[in-house]
Structure 1
Amino acid sequence: MERLTERDEEDGAPQPVPPLLEVRDLTLRFGGVSALRGVGFEVARGELFAVIGPNGAGKTSILNCLNGVYRPQRGTITLSGQRLTGRSPAAIAAMGVARTFQNLGLFEQLTVIENLMLGRHHLMRTGMLSGMVWWGRAKREEVEHRAAVEEIIELLELEPHRHTLAGLLPYGVAKRVELGRALAMAPTLLLLDEPVAGMNVEETEDMARYLVEVRRELDLAMILVEHDMRLVMDLADRVLALDFGVPVATGTPARIQRDPRVVEAYLGGAV
């Protein structure tokens, strides 16, 4: 998908804007089992792209390939023209890919601020010795990153929980901190793995509001994997539907809801 939003200065003709992320022919196997087969899609800058499908469709496997946890047997993944396939998760994070997880991965004995500061770790250049002394560059760097974390705390309305241990947080707030830690990495692409899993209706609505706010304030591209179809259809620009690792359809939420192949994949019968 190429958006025609830029114009040539000489002739005024629209110029194609390359997508932020390009995935081509992604194939992932575990022994004789194929988790993904020929998956391909593009994500534009600032777009919210959703991936849906029944349990076992391969949704989380896509995220694991994107952030380097899995290495596909075939296919390519490029971010801003740079190849991601074959790189380590740490290298991919440094290139601007951040992720939240379906199961909380917070450090329960650390405070909210400390958990968020961990998201800034790959951006810090101070060595261990100077960090222990906490003087000069080390002090300036921590002050700078603490200021960035405070902006995230304000954006996600985490002020009352700033110094609370993560292990003592209500579930909905903890999921918000997980989102905040990913945002602290200053990503260009945010991977959201079931951000409202296990939430009640009120918590789900709150998370949806925060995702809208994050997108508006930071203009981030996001890939959302989620079972809550109401959330997906309300927030996504485009949707990819998978069934047993195979792409079924890609399009706008309205088109996906009407596609008989998608209905069949979810309901398990001919339409």
Structure 2
Amino acid sequence: MERLTPLLEASGLTLRFGGVTALDDVGFEVGGGELFAIIGPNGAGKTSIFNCLNGVYRPQRGTITLEGTSLVGRAPAAIAAMGVARTFQNPGLFSRLTVVENLMLGRHHLMRTGFFSGMAWWGRAKREEIRHRAAVEDIVDLLELEPYRWSPAGLLPYGVAKRAELGRALAMEPKLLLLDEPVAGMNLEETEDTARYLLEVRAELGIAMILVEHDMSLVMDVADRVLALDFGKAIATGKPSEVQHDPLVVEAYLGGAA
């Protein structure tokens, strides 16, 4: 695949907790529209990278830039407003709200009308509500959530709940989407459906994505490039087929040479 202009650049990321080094001089870049995967055994530092990218952790050393603007030291809400959205391994939907209402929450930072004008639902507030609901309906169509649109999130099947969480992140209109184990706990059919949705999101919306996932079949099928970590260090970066057969990656996963 032709290399794209970097949207996100991370360099020299080092994160320590007391005497434990979670990340050790890790660097990578993600191009616009690229689907970039991060793999590694448990404890390799994958989630730590995500937490640095969206402002939950602040690395002791290193830089992170989105379109040339530094993310280090910014609050998670500020980073979200800059165009970074994240899904989590366990869906964090509001169980008593419907799917559409949960997706509308993803539009919150894009809304400009105040509480009282919104409550009156008149003029600018009404026009804004209609515009945001139209955007949400596009996501419902893209992720095939129509049968569940008015269902309370707490009653959704697990796979559908994960899809709705993806939809809420897309409702934020992100430039970069962080996907934290999007197929964890899914069966084979749900995993294949999720892979299809991720590819459709990239094709339709052109959003760059960083995927953290243990399902290597999914990673090899959808990722453009892969970064492999082990004990907080980057051990390989490249195309999926290259990383899959890298001796250091094989050793990290299997404990010995292939």
Shorter-chain TM range is over 0.9
1:30 Cα deviation from its structure 2 partner? 1.0
1:62-105 deviation line (CA, Å, top 9, x unaligned): 11110111111111100001111110011000101011001111
**Which one-letter code corresponds to 1:84 in the other structure?**
L
TM-score between both structures, scaled by the size of structure 1: 0.93
Q: Measure the CA separation in 2 of the matches of 1:135 and 1:160.
A: 30
Residue 165 of structure 1 corresponds to which residue in structure 2? Answer: 152
Residue 207 of structure 1 corresponds to which residue in structure 2? Answer: 194
Residue 103 of structure 2 corresponds to which residue in structure 1? Answer: 116
Decide which of 136, 139, 147 is 2:126's aligned counterpart: 139
Residue 79 of structure 1 corresponds to which residue in structure 2? Answer: 66
**Which one-letter code corresponds to 2:231 in the other structure?**
F
Q: Secondary structure at the residue paired with 2:235?
A: strand
1:131 Cα deviation from its structure 2 partner? 1.3
Q: Secondary structure at the residue paired with 2:6?
A: coil
Structure 1 position 70 matched with structure 2 position 57: yes
Q: Measure the CA separation in 2 of the matches of 1:213 and 1:19.
A: 21
Decide which of 238, 249, 258 is 1:262's aligned counterpart: 249
Residue 209 of structure 2 corresponds to which residue in structure 1? Answer: 222
1:153-203 deviation line (CA, Å, top 9, x unaligned): 000000010100000000000000000000000001000000000000010
Residue 181 of structure 2 corresponds to which residue in structure 1? Answer: 194
Residue 13 of structure 1 corresponds to which residue in structure 2? Answer: none
1:80-136 deviation line (CA, Å, top 9, x unaligned): 011111100110001010110011110001000000000000000111121121111
**Which one-letter code corresponds to 1:26 in the other structure?**
L
What pairs up with 1:35-46 in 2 under 5 angstroms? 35-46=22-33
1:270 Cα deviation from its structure 2 partner? 4.4
Structure 1 position 240 matched with structure 2 position 227: yes
Q: Measure the CA separation in 1 of the matches of 2:17 and 2:97.
A: 36
Q: Measure the CA separation in 1 of the matches of 2:41 and 2:244.
A: 14
Q: Measure the CA separation in 2 of the matches of 1:249 and 1:43.
A: 15
**Which one-letter code corresponds to 2:178 in the other structure?**
L
Structure 1 position 60 matched with structure 2 position 47: yes
Structure 1 position 90 matched with structure 2 position 77: yes
Q: Measure the CA separation in 2 of the matches of 1:136 and 1:74.
A: 49
Residue 155 of structure 1 corresponds to which residue in structure 2? Answer: 142
Q: Measure the CA separation in 1 of the matches of 2:22 and 2:96.
A: 36
**Which one-letter code corresponds to 1:63 in the other structure?**
F
Q: Measure the CA separation in 2 of the matches of 1:194 and 1:209.
A: 15
**Total equivalences in the alignment:** 258
Structure 1 position 102 matched with structure 2 position 89: yes
Residue 7 of structure 1 corresponds to which residue in structure 2? Answer: none
Q: Measure the CA separation in 2 of the matches of 1:71 and 1:223.
A: 19
TM-score between both structures, scaled by the size of structure 2: 0.98
Decide which of 25, 28, 31 is 2:18's aligned counterpart: 31
